[in-house]
Amino acid sequence: MALLEQADIWFFRLLNLSLVHPALDDLMVFLTTPKLSLHILLLIALFVLVRAGKSGIAIILLVFASLGLADFIASGILKPLVQRIRPCFALDHVRLLISQPHSFSFASSHAANSAAVASILWIFFHRGVFVEKLFTVLVILYALAIAFSRAYVGVHYPSDLLAGIMIGIGSAFLIYLLFSWVLKNIVQPRRMRQHRVD
């Protein structure tokens, strides 16, 4: 465990101190602050509605459901359970670019939430036409950039980010499987019965 912790700290310092450039600082703050990048989420929702039509509403609801589950697991369960101190409090000489969050570090809810959104959108659009495949790639890159920004600005270890990404992916697929089960076993049989009656 000590070796893994040392590796985690080494990777954090690499992302927070070595792989940095003043020109990237503002971009990383932008990516890591949801209030600043809200319009990007609105553009994503608009794309979903335009490309998927009425089904887009269901996709957006699944996005919110998977995001909520991922956030609950990361922030509601793991953070109070593990109680890992953030690197900006635990380590010296951290480049802290945002105000210090006073919640615990493991796991990253930003990484979990963005990965959950990207995963749901990947499920529905990765087999589509070129523009939908391109959209999926861009959303995944955006989610990864958000995760990366959390170490860059000094508030998360790389293992926090990796755990958050795994939580987000798992939450999205769990929500999708639940949705598929309900659709197959409840909604479709009910529609078939109504069709027979009509």
| Architecture field, domain 26-197 | Orthogonal Bundle (1.10)
What is the reported pLDDT for 149? Answer: 96
The tens digit of pLDDT for each residue in 88-114 reads: 999 999 999 998 888 999 999 999 999
Element at 104 (helix H, strand E): none
What is the reported pLDDT for 161? Answer: 98
Is residue 197 predicted with pLDDT exceeding 70? no
**Distance (Å, whole) CA 179 – CA 43:** 24
The tens digit of pLDDT for each residue in 43-81 reads: 999 999 999 988 999 999 999 999 999 999 999 999 999
Residue found by looking up tokens 């990361």 in the block: 74
Judge whether 143 and 166 are in contact, CB under 8 Å.
no
Is residue 157 predicted with pLDDT exceeding 80? yes
Domain limits, the chain: 26-197
Is residue 198 predicted with pLDDT exceeding 60? no
Q: Of 131, 122, 116, 132, whose CA–CA distance to 172 is shortest?
A: 116
Question: How far, in Å, are 48, 64, 83, 159 from residue 60 at the CA level?
Answer: 8, 6, 32, 29
The tens digit of pLDDT for each residue in 105-139 reads: 999 999 999 999 999 999 999 998 999 999 999 99
